[in-house]
């Protein structure tokens, strides 16, 4: 073992091994937990298993750093964020490989995620200089009325394992641009990407204490510290609705500002006037990206009765060609699920659907590779009363449902407590407007499976969350609005 940074021999070839070793050395007194490759089960690294005391210390560091960071000009914060952006860009391939090793997604998807994550840093670096206030026409001759936007303060951020790079940059970049400091807790399954990003932020010159990282195998403990702290004035969380609901309750005593990006149950609607080739390709992308482990994955594929049989067969044929394997292997289209519990959940949902009358037309079982791999699966004859239509599948299983009328499609799409994204394929313009306006969700996507952009607001309605990330609206989540009334101004 390298005594300087505590790097074990097995970690030496790992991208950012030095940064991981330095982070562990900085917390030498802490216990550690092991991060494993979900494709092989191999140990990747041991990282500090920090607890309540360390989380409290991180909050204290963020509180002390806040005054100085908020006092910097927007131009200075912009320059530092741009420096972070450059360093990530220079080492994007290493970051992508690290991401695939700890998360499992195909390397091509990991590369795309690194570039996607970079867009948030670039966007919010520029937006730092556009936190504009207002001057309001006065109601009295001796008064002037102003609105100021000021940083909310210390931010607590909790990020998920399915996008361990982009979800970090999507929260850290706007917080820093607004003048906030941050305490970040990455998912215990994928902390290595966060450690690498943190190391590059420090290398870029972002002062110590502005970005603070807490790795842990006990997320509940850290969540309780963040939510109970009066010094933490905002919490941003991406994850399950169940955990989001708990964090929201815990924040009640300190009345924090909240951003919650929670679960989804996305409908993917294929109308009878759709371009069938485009709809099949879109359904493949929307369902099987990251092995179906995204909150915007197509969870229910609704197909109009006139084209149902044709779509089902073409879709099944396309799914049959998907290559399953280790994300680091060339040609892999579908990687492993994150852990054994995820495979168990998918297996349970498929078994329940089949017991209730659904038919397996493709896949439907654990993959021959074993471990955390599951076959890309297509189910037909799925009904709304099956568990698979009411829960986030978070796996490579596509349930197909049939509908007759536009009204029925809208009812089925909205018949969920979630409301993050809805996809639909159609050509008739009056149908397009009618459906888009009727869907109960934060994001509507027409004739496409891709939609995310740093310039557009991401977020849901109902139990899919509160607030928006990305875009000019995302920056507003990290500021408070202060009304300033100046009196006694005699002419």
Confidence of residue 11 (pLDDT cuts 50, 70, 90): confident
Interhelix angle 74-90/192-203, nearest 10 degrees: 120
With b meaning 16 or more CB within 10 Å and e meaning fewer, what string describes 406-420?
A: beebbebbeebebbb
pLDDT of residue 207: 98
Please provide the DSSP assignment of 447-490 as one string. S-S----TTS-B--SGGGEES-BSHHHHHHTTEEEEEEEE----
Mean pLDDT of 221-226: 98
Q: What is the mean pLDDT of residues 38-52?
A: 97
Give me the pLDDT at residue 3, please.
43
Residue 77 CB coordination number (10 Å): 22
Residue 110, SS3 per DSSP: helix
Strands 377-380 and 397-403, sheet pairing = parallel
**378-398: per-residue pLDDT in tens?**
999 999 999 999 999 999 999
Confidence class for position 8, pLDDT limits 50, 70, 90: low
Angstrom distance (rounded) from CA 475 to CA 178:
7
Q: Please state, in angstroms and rounded to a whole number, the distance separating the CA atoms of residues 421 and 414.
A: 11
Percentage of the chain surpassing pLDDT 70? 98
With CA atoms as reference, report the closest residue to 304 among 267, 274, 265: 274
Query: Number of C-alpha atoms within 13 angstroms, CB side, residue 249?
Result: 5
Torsion of CA 55, 61, 63, 69, to 10 degrees: -130
Q: How far apart are CA 443 and CA 432, in angstroms?
A: 14
- For the CA atoms of 315, 317, 318, 323, the dihedral, rounded to the nearest 10 degrees, stands at 140
pLDDT of residue 293: 98
Question: Is residue 2 pLDDT above 70, yes or no?
Answer: no
Residue at token pair 């009345």: 255
CB 151 within 8 Å of CB 71: no
Please answer whether residues 425 and 271 qualify as being in contact, where contact means their C-beta atoms are separated by less than 8 angstroms.
yes
Mean pLDDT throughout 236-249? 98
Using one digit for the tens of pLDDT, what is the confidence trace for 185-199?
Answer: 999 999 999 999 999
All residues at 6 or more sequence positions from 249 whose CB lies less than 8 Å from its CB, including other chains: none
What is the pLDDT averaged over residues 228-252? 98
pTM exceeding 0.75: yes
Residues labelled as active-site residues? 261, 295
Chain-wide mean pLDDT for the chain? Answer: 96
The label of the residue with tokens 């909240």 reads 258
Q: Mean pLDDT throughout 348-374?
A: 98
- Res. 240: pLDDT tops 50: yes
Q: What is the mean pLDDT of residues 459-471?
A: 98
Interval 291-327: pLDDT, tens: 999 999 999 999 999 999 999 999 999 999 999 999 9
Domains of the chain in sequence order: 9-263+465-483 (3.40.605.10), 266-415+421-453 (3.40.309.10)
Mean pLDDT, range 93-102, rounded to an integer? 98
The predicted model gives 343-363 an average pLDDT of 98
3-state DSSP call for residue 78? Answer: helix
Q: Is 284 exposed, middle or buried (0-12, 13-18, 19+ CB in 10 A)?
A: buried
Q: Which residues, in sequence order, are CB contacts of 482 under 8 Å at separation 6+? A: 147, 148, 149, 150
> According to the model, what pLDDT value does residue 6 have?
62
How much is the average pLDDT of 17-36?
96
Whether the CB-CB separation of 316 and 361 falls below 8 Å is answered with: yes
């Amino acid at each position: 073992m390298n005594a300087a940074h505590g790097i074990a021999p097995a970690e030496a070839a790992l991208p950012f091994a030095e940064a991981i070793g330095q982070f562990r050395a900085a917390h030498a007194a802490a216990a550690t937990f092991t991060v494993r490759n979900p494709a092989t089960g191999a140990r990747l690294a041991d990282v500090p298993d920090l607890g309540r005391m360390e989380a409290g210390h991180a909050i204290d560091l963020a509180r002390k750093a806040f005054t100085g960071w908020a006092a910097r000009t927007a131009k200075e914060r912009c320059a530092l964020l741009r420096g972070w952006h450059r360093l990530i860009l220079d080492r994007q391939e290493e970051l992508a490989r690290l991401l695939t090793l700890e998360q499992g997604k195909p390397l091509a998807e990991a590369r795309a995620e690194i570039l996607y994550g970079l867009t948030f840093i670039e966007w919010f670096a520029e937006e730092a200089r556009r936190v504009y206030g207002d001057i309001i026409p006065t109601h009295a001759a001796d008064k002037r009325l102003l609105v100021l936007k000021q940083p909310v303060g210390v931010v607590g951020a909790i990020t998920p394992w399915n996008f361990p790079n982009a979800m970090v940059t999507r929260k850290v970049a706007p917080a820093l641009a607004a003048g906030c400091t941050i305490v970040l807790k990455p998912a215990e399954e994928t902390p290595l990407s966060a450690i690498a990003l943190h190391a590059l932020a420090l290398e870029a010159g972002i002062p110590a204490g502005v970005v603070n990282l807490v790795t842990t195998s006990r997320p509940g403990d850290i969540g309780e510290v963040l939510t109970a702290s009066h010094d933490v004035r905002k919490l941003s969380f991406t994850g399950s609705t169940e955990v989001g609901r708990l964090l929201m309750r815990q924040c009640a005593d300190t009345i924090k500002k909240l951003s919650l990006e929670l679960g989804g149950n996305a409908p993917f609607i294929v109308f009878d006037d759709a371009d069938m080739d485009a709809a099949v390709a879109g359904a493949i992308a929307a369902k099987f990206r990251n092995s179906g482990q995204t909150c915007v994955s197509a969870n229910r594929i609704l197909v109009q009765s006139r084209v149902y049989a044709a779509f089902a067969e073409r879709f099944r044929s396309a799914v049959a060609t998907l290559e399953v394997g280790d994300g680091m292997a060339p040609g892999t289209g579908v990687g492993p699920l994150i852990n054994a519990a995820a495979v168990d959940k998918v297996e349970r949902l498929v078994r329940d659907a089949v017991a209730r009358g659904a038919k397996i037309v493709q896949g439907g079982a654990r993959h021959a590779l074993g471990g955390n791999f599951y076959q890309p699966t297509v189910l037909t004859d799925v009904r709304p009363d099956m568990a698979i239509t009411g829960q986030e599948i978070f796996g490579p299983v596509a349930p197909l449902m049939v509908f007759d009328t536009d009204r029925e499609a809208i009812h089925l799409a909205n018949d969920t407590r979630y409301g993050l994204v809805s996809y639909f394929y159609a050509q008739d313009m009056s149908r397009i407007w009618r459906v888009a306006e009727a869907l109960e969700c934060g994001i509507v996507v027409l004739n496409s499976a891709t939609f995310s952009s740093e310039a557009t607001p991401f977020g849901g309605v109902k139990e899919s969350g509160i607030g928006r990330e990305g875009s000019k609206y995302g920056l507003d989540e990290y500021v408070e609005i202060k009304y300033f009334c100046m009196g006694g101004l005699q002419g």
